[in-house]
Amino acid sequence: MKKFSALLLSFLIPGLLGAQVPDYVPTSNLVGWWPLDSTLIDSSSNSNNGTGNLFTYVTDRFGNANKACDFADNNAYVRFFNLPVNTQGNYTINYWMKLKSYQNYDVVQDFHPDEECGSYPQIWEMFDSLFIVKCNDVPSRRAIGPKTLFLDNWTMLTYSVTSDSTTIYINGVQKSKFAYVWSASTTASLILANGSNAISSYQNGAQVMIDDVGLWYRKLDDCEINGLFQSLPPAAITTQPITQTATIGGSTSFSITAASTTATFQWQSNIGPGGTFIDLPNTGQYSGAQSATLTVSNLTTINNNQLFRCIVKTGVSGLCSKISNIVSISITTSAIEGVASTEHFFLEQNIPNPASDLTTIRYDVPSFRDGAAIVLFGAQGQKIRTEKISKTGKGCYTLDTKSLEPGVYYYTLLIDGKKSRTRKMVVIH
């Protein structure tokens, strides 16, 4: 493999090489993304290209040739300089590394403005552990993890800094958080595998491989960091569901798409206690409740204006989640009424509502031919009880809710076998 024995300046325009930031890399406040794929070019639009010395390109963690850097020479390093980052503000550094051998007092990563030892963050290989430390300030060092974790293993290291704390992540999982205040600077240089070279006079260069380096001028959240580890985009929703119009007895569907091909889905509806959203099952009217498309079948007036949303999750154990827009089913007016518009039927809201004991439902049925009734349904559309109306005119029905489970219910005024009016009732205990 070719060894870079002189200072290498990457001067090619990234666009000419087709370089681009992968879809799982957060682009908000991205300072630079360096895939180290046979060049030191910054794949972001910022052109923060790097320089380097005496390193070789080797096979990366995916088995791709010449897509990572090997710093076998004691004087090898890579430098990305004059980066617009306030070292006392919010920023995140992320990269993959693999230690090749045990060394002591070797700098894996250095981040400071003037390339001199000072109160700026460094990653040191010390004794049997990796540490984050202020240069030459031994009491300030904080352990990141044992060398055995990194030795001969590709491991993702992230440290995310705010004005009052530094948080360390290993393989996308937070390991430690501590209060550090670094020296302030409006620009900084990011140096990897630093050693006894032309830049500074530390110990022997770190025996390490490094891949996919990223720097952001903000603190990444846990979801974004997990996405970097999984090489998967966060749970971004690319197509939102939309409200549907349907008729009684028919069916309708809601669909959603996500950026990640490994995303999971859970559809919800506002049929929980007090109208809260709860997970829908694949039973009764509902199918595809854990897929990208939810289908609601055998529609009734109960489904009119029923609300739906979808929870999209990605990452380890669904760490990252997004909630879709809220949508509804609109049952057409003629289907809801089900009786002649000249008839003045009415069904009042139950009092009290929410109900915990007895509740009263008032109604007016001017006429009927084949009978009338008030029918109570559960949130899933299942019929619970029927109260027949024996005569026309105004009346009231007193419902004892003590035997009902807390939750959302619907009651319908049924005239000559047609559903004319439906209202929602909430039961609490």
CATH code at position 144? 2.60.120.200
What does the alpha-carbon distance between residue 161 and residue 279 come to, in Å, rounded to a whole number?
Answer: 37
270 inside domain: yes
From first to last of its 429 residues, the chain has per-residue pLDDT tens of 333 333 333 333 333 344 689 988 999 999 999 999 999 999 998 999 999 888 899 999 999 999 999 987 777 888 888 888 887 789 999 999 998 876 666 777 778 776 666 666 777 666 677 778 776 666 667 778 888 888 899 999 998 988 888 899 999 888 888 887 777 788 888 888 755 443 444 445 567 899 999 999 999 988 889 889 988 776 678 899 999 999 888 899 999 998 777 789 999 998 766 678 889 999 889 999 999 999 999 888 778 888 999 999 876 666 678 899 999 998 875 444 443 333 567 888 899 988 999 999 989 888 887 788 999 988 777 889 999 998 888 889 999 999 999 888 889 888 887 777 788 898 988
Tell me, yes or no, whether 77 lies in a domain.
yes
Q: What tokens appear for 413 in the block?
A: 């005024």
- The answer to the question of residue 57 being in a domain is yes
Asked, for residue 3, whether it belongs to a domain, the answer is no
* pLDDT given for residue 10 in this prediction: 35
- pLDDT computed for residue 156 by the predictor: 95
Asked whether the bond before 354 is cis by omega within 30 degrees of 0, the reply is yes
3-class secondary-structure state, position 214: strand
* Residue at 160 is within a domain: yes
Q: Do both 147 and 283 map to the same domain?
A: no
* pLDDT for the residue 315: 65
* Residue span of the structural domain in which 252 resides: 237-334
Q: Is 418 exposed, middle or buried (0-12, 13-18, 19+ CB in 10 A)?
A: middle
Same domain, yes or no: 343 and 329: no
Residue 1 lies in a domain: no
Same domain, 54 and 152: yes
Q: Are residues 129 and 221 in the same domain?
A: yes
> What CATH number did the domain enclosing 359 receive?
2.60.40.1930
Identify whether residues 77 and 22 lie together within a single domain: yes
Task: Tell me, yes or no, whether 243 and 225 share the same domain.
Answer: no
Number of helices and strands in the chain (H, E): 3, 34
End of a domain among 287, 318, 334? Answer: 334
- Say yes or no: 43 and 183 in one domain: yes
Same domain, 216 and 247: no
In this structure, are 415 and 322 located in the same domain? no
2 inside domain? no
Instruction: Out of 200, 230, 260, pick the residue that ends a domain.
Output: 230
Distance, in Å, from the CA atom of 161 to the CA atom of 91, rounded to the nearest integer, reads 5
Give the closest residue to 189 by CA, choosing from 200, 176, 204.
200
Residue 192 has a pLDDT of 86
What CATH number corresponds to the domain at position 258? 2.60.40.10
Same-domain pairing of 212 and 253:
no
Q: Which residue has the tokens 């001199």?
A: 116
SS3 track for 339-369: CCCCCCCEECCCECCCECCEEEEEEEECCCC
**pLDDT in the model for residue 322:** 86
* 411 domain residue, yes or no: yes
What's the domain count of the chain?
3
**Last-in-domain residue among 230, 256, 282:** 230
What separation in angstroms does the CA of 187 have from each of 80, 89, 92? 11, 11, 14
The tokens describing 149, both together, are 């974790």
Are 256 and 321 in a shared domain?
yes
Are 262 and 367 in the same domain? no
Two tokens, residue 405: 């489970």
